[in-house]
Structure 1
Amino acid sequence: MSTSKNVQMILNGTISSLSTVIPVKLDVLAPSITVQPYEQKEISVLIGLVGGIKGRLIIDASLDAINTIGQAMFGMSIEGEMIESFTGELGNMVAGNLCTILEKDGLILDISPPTVMTGTTKFYGFKQAFKLPVKIDGGGMLTVLLTIDEN
């Protein structure tokens, strides 16, 4: 399969995975292409992708978004050290579900353990990335960044 077809499958699968994992209404905005450096403001989780395609899935979130999702999933506010832990687990759930969705379409991927980053951080090491902004009903934003490594 071509890289562009795989990227489209991954973006569509990511939207489906987010909708399955996050029990809050999501408003997925138009994707765009961004170049390095990408700068996060509050918190993100990075998951490596290997297999049919190699790259990274980064979910960059506002603390409001993490708290809104946590409230919907657990009925309680996510605070303190639980924010980082929950963000990592959220990334794991989204990426794991994405792999299951893609496997049905013949694209086999494995994922790395999640890496959580807090504060203002700049990401380098990619020529371009696909950026998918997502509004969370009830508060906050997520930005999904998909970087594809050159073969």
Structure 2
Amino acid sequence: MTVHSIKEPSFQLLLKEVVDSINSVIPAQPIINHTPSIESAIPIDLGVSVHFTGDMKGLLFLKGEKDTFSSIAEMLYGMRLDGEMLTSFTGEVGNMIAGTLSTNLTKLSLKTDITSPELFQSDIFNVAHHEQALGVELTYDAHGVQLDVILMVVY
């Protein structure tokens, strides 16, 4: 049995906090599938990363098709987005989820801050230390979209 200190919660506990943070921002219940392994280079249609500083350093990366983020906008605001509004929204939803996660981490006695979101479009996201990353796929069946989430943490 592995015991983690309050300052170093398990990846599974952190991933649970990530999913809880997403669920508090996106008003729909996804089907959750854990990603068995993370590749070192991930092709991106549209994605956003937000870095964490403080007691926990690392990043949260959200990836999906443009339709994924447009559907999330529809879930939140009742309308789909495209073009510059969609890319702006993608950064903002990443910011909202990361900010919620940073707040939720205080329950684990972790004080963190977040950086500005970084957008990725039609690109490759290179995952440093991908063997230490955890991922989860969130499928929103009612909307026919999937959001891929990667969490990388360094203490």
Instruction: Summarize deviations over 1:75-116 as a string: whole Å, max 9, x none.
Output: 111111011100000000001111111102212211111001
Once residues 32 and 89 of structure 1 are traced to their aligned partners in structure 2, the CA distance between those partners, rounded to angstroms, is: 28
Aligned length: 149
What is the identity, as a one-letter code, of the residue corresponding to 1:25? Q
Output aligned runs, 1:47-66, within 5 Å.
Answer: 47-66=50-69
1:22 maps to what in 2?
A: 26
Identity %: 28
> In the alignment, which of 142, 147, 150 is matched to residue 142 of structure 1?
147
The answer to whether the 8 A contact 1:35-1:126 is kept is no
Greater displacement, 110-119 / 25-34:
25-34
| TM-score, length basis structure 2 | 0.86
> In the alignment, which of 78, 83, 103 is matched to residue 100 of structure 1?
103
| TM-score, length basis structure 1 | 0.88
| Deviation of 1:35 (Å) | 4.1
The answer to whether the 8 A contact 2:6-2:109 is kept is no
Q: CA RMSD in A?
A: 1.9
Once residues 127 and 59 of structure 1 are traced to their aligned partners in structure 2, the CA distance between those partners, rounded to angstroms, is: 15
Once residues 4 and 108 of structure 1 are traced to their aligned partners in structure 2, the CA distance between those partners, rounded to angstroms, is: 12
Unaligned runs of 5+ in 1: none
1:73 maps to what in 2?
A: 76
SS, match of residue 76 in structure 1? coil
What is the identity, as a one-letter code, of the residue corresponding to 1:139? G
Once residues 51 and 41 of structure 1 are traced to their aligned partners in structure 2, the CA distance between those partners, rounded to angstroms, is: 28
| Deviation of 1:139 (Å) | 1.9
Once residues 2 and 127 of structure 1 are traced to their aligned partners in structure 2, the CA distance between those partners, rounded to angstroms, is: 24
- In structure 2, relative to structure 1, the CA distance for the partners of 1:9 and 1:108 (3 Å cut) is farther
What is the identity, as a one-letter code, of the residue corresponding to 1:16? D
- In structure 2, relative to structure 1, the CA distance for the partners of 1:140 and 1:113 (3 Å cut) is same
The answer to whether the 8 A contact 1:126-1:148 is kept is no
1:11 maps to what in 2?
A: 15
